[in-house]
Structure 1
Amino acid sequence: MNAVELFLLGRTLMKIGEAALPTEGIGKHTTSVRTVMIVAGDVRQNPGSAVGEIAARTGLPQSAVSASVARLRTAGAVVTEPDPADRRRMLVNPAAAASERVEEVRAATVDTALATALDTDDPERIAALVATLESLAAELTPQVLGRLRAATD
């Protein structure tokens, strides 16, 4: 596999993941699912961060991070509070308890989206592919991105 093939695979997997997420009742948003997921992951790994810090770590524009934080706050996934050291900044933390919407998203499986993408109804094929993806996910955790960024900086 070369770099282009890996990049395209990642994009395909991202699109299948987006298709698997439940969207009923959430309406249209200006921020992409990808951006919101990146911000949510960063907040879980770095609780108590300001929007600017999240933007610096993720490489996303501060406006995209702010929009994602607003969307996550509406969904009940994060809470914000003023920074005691600088009341102009807001600190972002994961919500203490997952909202109904967050639980719904976390419970969503990729099986149906994979079956649609692969044009198959073979449950054994889907189960095998899901097991392969779970194995990859165990190895390629969000922490590997930090090491990758550090090596390329």
Structure 2
Amino acid sequence: MNGVELFLLGRTLMKIGEQAMPQPQTQTAAGGSVRSVLVTLDDVLAHPGTTIGEIATRTGLPQSQVSTAVARLAEAGSVDTEPDPADRRRRLVRATTRPSARVKDVRSTTIDDALTAALTTPDGTAPNEPLLHEVSAALDTLARHLTPTTARPR
């Protein structure tokens, strides 16, 4: 596998992950793409008490997307914000200590249906159980060794 293949695999896995996420019961006013929300949340988990501008710098997302993502995460109960004591115009963002019902819902949802859909052939043939098990086991292995906290880019 080369870097391009790994990158494309990563995008495919992201799409499967997005499809596996349960839809919110109600549409939020905050909006924002799932990817920008997840990238923002990953950064907040790695850097608690951070500002919108710092998140934007580290992630490469536009500040407006980060602001929208933080609003969506706050509405879902995933993050809290508070004024920055050093500069009251800025807000500090950190993960909540108690997960909301939405967070619990997302964490309890499996990828089984999305993985089955991704492995279904163009002619509609669903993957067999051994293939599903093999791919699930490979994903479990990757997750164990390449979590965001263990595999930060250097």
The normalised TM-score by structure 2 is: 0.88
Residue 48 (structure 2) aligns with: 47
Structure 1 regions of 5+ residues with no counterpart? Answer: 148-153
1:5 to partner: Cα distance: 1.5
- Write the distance in 1 (CA, Å) between the matches of 2:9 and 2:55: 26
1:121 to partner: Cα distance: 5.2
The normalised TM-score by structure 1 is: 0.89
Structure 2 regions of 5+ residues with no counterpart? Answer: 121-125
Residue 94 (structure 1) aligns with: 95
Query: What are the equivalent positions in structure 2 for 1:1-153 lying under 5 Å apart?
Result: 1-27=1-27, 30-119=31-120, 120=126, 122-143=128-149, 144-147=151-154
1:92-136 CA deviation, whole Å, 9 max, x = no partner? 010110000011011111111011111225333222211111111
Paired amino acid for 2:132: I
Whether the 8 Å CA contact 2:31–2:72 is kept in 1: the answer is no
What secondary structure sits across from 1:92 in the alignment?
strand
Identical counterparts, % of pairs: 53
- Write the distance in 2 (CA, Å) between the matches of 1:6 and 1:96: 34
User: Which deviates the most, 74-83 or 129-138?
Assistant: 129-138
**Number of residue equivalences:** 147
Whether the 8 Å CA contact 2:49–2:93 is kept in 1: the answer is yes
